[in-house]
Copies of this chain bind each other. A is one copy, B any other.
Amino acid sequence: MSYLDRIRACSRRDLSKYRPFQVDGVHIGFVRNDMAEAIRPYANVFTVTDRAVALDASLTTFDQRTAAVDTVLRRLSNTEIMSPWRNEPYAVTAAFGAPPLFAMERAAIPLFGIRAYGVHLNGYTGQGDRLAMWIGRRSRSKPTYPGLLDNTVAGGLPYGMTARKCLTNECEEEAGIPGDWAAKARAVGAITYCAEMKEGLRPDVLFCYDLALPPDFTPVCRDGELESFTLMPIQDVAAIVRDTEEFKFNCNLVIIDFLVRHGLIGPDDPDYVAIVQGLHQ
């Protein structure tokens, strides 16, 4: 088992199961074949062929597209194809920083292989060899990845919210970290991957943050997303990431990035270049 195994788990995909998805002539995702067939009847919203899917050209504004797609997705939300409705609209854009083309319910995003963005926080105490990291365990009742280990704080970026605001909210709700502390969290980079998971294709970007927490603080989950927190020596965290699959798939990469930036994985590791490149696919 190695760090590269965790990175490879975020690189595996079979694009033959997907069809390119275009909006206004611009490629913005990959629709899974079963989803393409499920939306084929809605010909006033989606133009589906055996080789591609396009949003109907008659839908030209943000509001038109959002409403039309929402109508279709709500019809499919009680079928087996979609995971439970989250009621969290995500922005659909041609590229980061570009104006949103429309908003789409989070549960459908991987079925259309649309890039999603998340914020993930490494909350730690101490420094050097004495670094310890607060690790969360996901609630057993969560619809996605129940019971797996997670970063101190993590959340998907909803439509219309800045990454910083999203981080501040999640810090408060998920770990009881007050806003003035969250404001001191340092943006330290982003990891990118394209993973095929049960829910679909995830060509995601995770914005990573580091926050040194006071030694006498214990995170408290307020929104039920996590069932517990444990402060673990960084060496133990590293071993769990390297040797097990106990973490949710993408949280491994956030921690590997932390280990790289803090010098706990270095150029003496023959996998170093592959690891650093693998965090930015």
Contact = CB atoms under 8 A, between A and B. Distances in A.
Interface in A126-169: 162-164
A177 interface: no
Given A188-B263, A260-B189, A280 B271 contact: no
Contacts of A186: 262-263
A215 interface: no
Interface of A: 95-98, 162-164, 186-190, 192, 205, 207, 260-263, 265-274, 276-277, 279-280
A205 B277 CA distance: 10
B164 A261 contact: no
A95 B188 CA distance: 28
A17 B97 CA distance: 35
A188 B261 contact: yes
Give the 6 A-B CB pairs with smallest separation, nearest first. A97-B270, A280-B280, A96-B273, A163-B267, A187-B266, A186-B263
Given A97-B273, A207-B267, 11 more contacts: A96-B270, A96-B272, A97-B272, A162-B268, A163-B268, A164-B268, A187-B265, A188-B260, A189-B261, A192-B277, A205-B273
13 contacts: A96-B270, A96-B274, A97-B272, A97-B273, A187-B260, A187-B265, A187-B266, A187-B267, A188-B260, A188-B262, A189-B261, A192-B277, A279-B280
